[in-house]
Amino acid sequence: MIATLDGGADTRASVVRRVAENRQLYRRDYNTALVLVHYFGYLRRGPGDPPDKNLDGFNFWLEDLNRTGDYRSLSRVFIESGEYKDQIKR
């Protein structure tokens, strides 16, 4: 891709589009993005933000999702968490 950019055969936009449409990349990053979206959407914070001090919780849920493939359970766990319930009370 770099060579096609350097040679003028491709534009930055076309290279970005090719990367974005790459199915292998999509499959590799989908679960990571999904767990991250759960943190942002349900808990309204990043996975390393307080009360967490690191990414251990994020990594746990990512590994669980990768192992089980159970997308519903992931959502259910976040919805039933005390942290989420505290968020909706505010």
Q: Considering its fold, how many domains does the chain have in total?
A: 1
Is residue 90's pLDDT more than 80? no
Under DSSP, the state recorded for 41 is I
User: Cβ of 48: how many Cβ atoms within 10 Å?
Assistant: 13
Mean pLDDT of 25-32: 92
For 74, the domain range is 2-89
Mean pLDDT of 44-60: 96
Cα R_g (the chain), whole angstroms: 18
Four-CA torsion 29, 56, 78, 45, nearest 10 degrees:
-80
pLDDT confidence band for 88 (50 / 70 / 90): confident
- The answer to whether 58 and 48 are in contact (CB under 8 A) is yes
